[in-house]
Amino acid sequence: MEQAVEIEGVSKSFGKKEVLSDISFLIGEGMIYGLIGPSGSGKTTLVKMIVGIAAPDAGAIRIFGVNVPNLELLEKVGYMAQADALYTELTGKENLDFFASLYPMKNAARKKRIAYAAGIVNLTAELGKRVSAYSGGMKRRLSLAIALVHNPKLLILDEPTVGMDPELRLSVWTELLHLKKEHGKTIIITTHVMDEAERCDIVSLVREGRILATGTPTELKQAYGAKDLEEVFLKAGRENR
Amino acid sequence: MRILAIVKRIIKQLLRDRRTLALLFFAPLIILTLMYFFFNGETEELVLGTVNVDVWFTAALEESGVHVIPYEEAGRKTVIDDELDGLLLVSNGEMSLVLLNEEPSASKALSAQIRTAAMRLAAEPEGRPQEIVAQYIYGGEDTAFFDVLSPVLIGFFVFFFVFLISGIGLLKERTSGTLERLMATPIRKGELLAAYLAGFGLFAVVQTIIVVAFSILVLDVVVAGSVWHVIMINLALALVALSLGILLSTFAATEFQMVQFIPLVVVPQIFFAGIFPVEGLADWLQAIAKAMPIYYAAEALKAVMYKGLGFDAIKGELAALLAFAAVFITLNLLVLKSHRSL
């Protein structure tokens, strides 16, 4: 399998506090890779460095064999930030249209992609409303649609399902699995919801800037003799003390 | 094109923000109008003392609303003691005028009235043109305050409002996380900066034209030189304000911190803008004045609007303004670099 993302010895400190220390892992093309950990564990910093909006103090990151940061590479990356970065004065459609027009796309193709992305997150009916009138969940959905709008090969989603009701979460996950299977997309997802972690192909447990364990959910449960990932997390955490 | 997409977005956002639009377009007009009335308080009746002035002239003056008090003998002391706005003396057929000039606008109005009256009489068959020599008790001929002040004020308001709104515009982008989100798209920093300059620049152009047109058409501010030069200077100043606002927004974490730059960056500019004469200041203060963009804009605006000079007189100042803008834009590119290296 080709490697979509290669992370080699990445470290990052803010002031004296080391938030990531010597992280290395590979993400194969066409899989859903979960970064699981509590808030403050360094997931978001790691994800930002993969996108290229934060620079590591040491180490290197490559996406599809190209060193990050690289402008052309960003055309192949769809990023959904943890905080909704939307223009609240504009409507949902105008937000989608604006972000879409930052990528090289023909007008007709852009319209199609906007309709498609809005459909996936079930926002088609609300596209004409201003974002300032959206609920928290609707904003998350719009952010996800924006990450998808330019048809990227690699999706990087930072806590995408926060604030979504179970029904919508299910439909988002169904779509993510569909994107992986039918379109061969690679998806990196951070979450602290364990049942979402179970759906990933590979998960890395992140705590205090270190990776405690990596593997498929089944492998991890077997290795730690645990009945679910939550227990794996607890056991792995104790071992690392 | 990416720049165009951002420009379009900025325009849409601003057009939906009615309050900010009103601040940008109408606040300068309100303040200018207030200043105009404060400095041009012409409601008071003009009082003129006369010595040896003939009946016709007196009648002509009273007709145009001047209150005339005839004296047997009077001088500068009379003007001060009797609180006259002026004193018109005729001796050997020569007219001379003493102006109190406590309020320059009153002196200006009074000498205008006297000149009109003299001209009207001169037009009649037995009349002859009169040369009137004016003396001033306070100040001098050049102290028509609003005329001096208005070029400075126009420049200042263009600077202030463009600075504030562009700065807060980019700041909002930063605090809402959309700037970081934009950095995850293939946009270049130069493109982002160019789009911001163009998007807010458009509003600055509209604002400049509204302010200049209002000053000339409604407030009767005299523009001795070319109106195009006035607009040109203000646009150069708006570009400086735009790039400085965007630059300083980098160092503010909240809108309130952006407002804190006003006393620090904007207010000192007023002192060096020529409302108070810079030439009389200590050398080190004059050196500071030369580091203030508004100083150059005010000098150029005064040259065009008040002195009626042409392009040659203002090209140095225009070049200085553009140099300021170039420096701020370069600094912007350097500062934006700290987010992503491209």
Q: With an 8 Å Cβ cutoff, are A81 and B339 in contact?
A: no
In this predicted model, which residue has the larger pLDDT, A31 or B102? A31
**pLDDT at position A237 over 70:** yes
What type of residue sits at position B169? Answer: G
The secondary structure element, H or E, covering residue A134 is: none
Residue (of A209, A237, A180) closest to A59 by Cα position:
A209
Structurally, what CATH architecture does the domain formed by B47-136 represent?
Answer: 3-Layer(aba) Sandwich (3.40)
Least CA distance to A83: which residue of chain B? Answer: B177
Least CA distance to B191: which residue of chain A? Answer: A102
Average pLDDT, chain A: 90
Within 8 A of B177 by CB-CB distance, chain A residues are 81, 83-85
A186, A154 contact by CB (below 8 A):
yes
Residue in B5, B183, B339 closest to A98 by CB = B5
Residues of chain B with pLDDT under 50: 143
Within 8 A of B189 by CB-CB distance, chain A residues are none
B218 by DSSP, 3-state: which?
Answer: coil
A86, A98 contact by CB (below 8 A):
no
Mutation to test the A interface, candidates B2, B7, B9, most A Cβ within 10 Å: B9
First to last CA, chain A: 34
A53 and B CB contact within 8 Å? yes
B77, B65 contact by CB (below 8 A):
no
Mutation to test the A interface, candidates B6, B7, B340, most A Cβ within 10 Å: B340
Within 8 A of B342 by CB-CB distance, chain A residues are 69-71
* pLDDT for res B121: 73
Write the pLDDT tens digit of every residue in B157-214.
888 888 988 888 889 888 888 988 998 999 988 899 899 999 998 998 898 889 888 8
In sequence order, the 6+-apart residues with CB closer than 8 A to the CB of A80 are A143, A144, A146, A147, A155, A156, A157, A158, A160
* pLDDT for res B65: 79
In this predicted model, which residue has the larger pLDDT, B229 or A238? B229
Q: How far is CA B218 from CA A94, B150, B210, in A?
A: 39, 13, 11
Least CA distance to A88: which residue of chain B? Answer: B13
Residue (of A61, A46, A54, A57) closest to A6 by Cα position:
A61
Q: How far is B238 from chain A (nearest CA, A)?
A: 25
Domain A1-74+186-241: top CATH class? alpha beta
| Tokens standing for residue A205 | 């447990």
Which ipTM value was assigned to this complex?
Answer: 0.89
- The residues spanned by each domain of chain B are 2-38+144-336, 47-136
What type of residue sits at position A162? Answer: V
A27, A180 contact by CB (below 8 A):
no
- The residues spanned by each domain of chain A are 1-74+186-241
Q: With an 8 Å Cβ cutoff, are A51 and B184 in contact?
A: yes
* pLDDT for res B328: 94
| CA–CA separation, A118 and A124 (whole Å) | 5
Measured in whole angstroms, how far is the alpha carbon of residue A153 from the centre of its chain?
12
* pLDDT for res B20: 83
* pLDDT for res B123: 67
> How would you class A95 by CB atoms within 10 Å of its CB: exposed for 0-12, middle for 13-18, buried for 19 or more?
buried
Within 8 A of A92 by CB-CB distance, chain B residues are none
In this predicted model, which residue has the larger pLDDT, A138 or B99? A138
pTM, two decimals, is: 0.77
Percent of chain A topping pLDDT 90? 61
Interface of B with A (CB under 8 A): 2, 4-6, 8-9, 12-13, 16-17, 176-178, 180-188, 339-342
Within 8 A of A103 by CB-CB distance, chain B residues are 185-186
* pLDDT for res B340: 60
* pLDDT for res B151: 80
A185, A148 contact by CB (below 8 A):
no
* pLDDT for res A241: 61
| CA–CA separation, B304 and A159 (whole Å) | 60
Cis amide linkage into residue A69, ω under 30° from 0: yes
Write the pLDDT tens digit of every residue in A169-201.
888 899 899 999 988 999 999 988 888 899 999
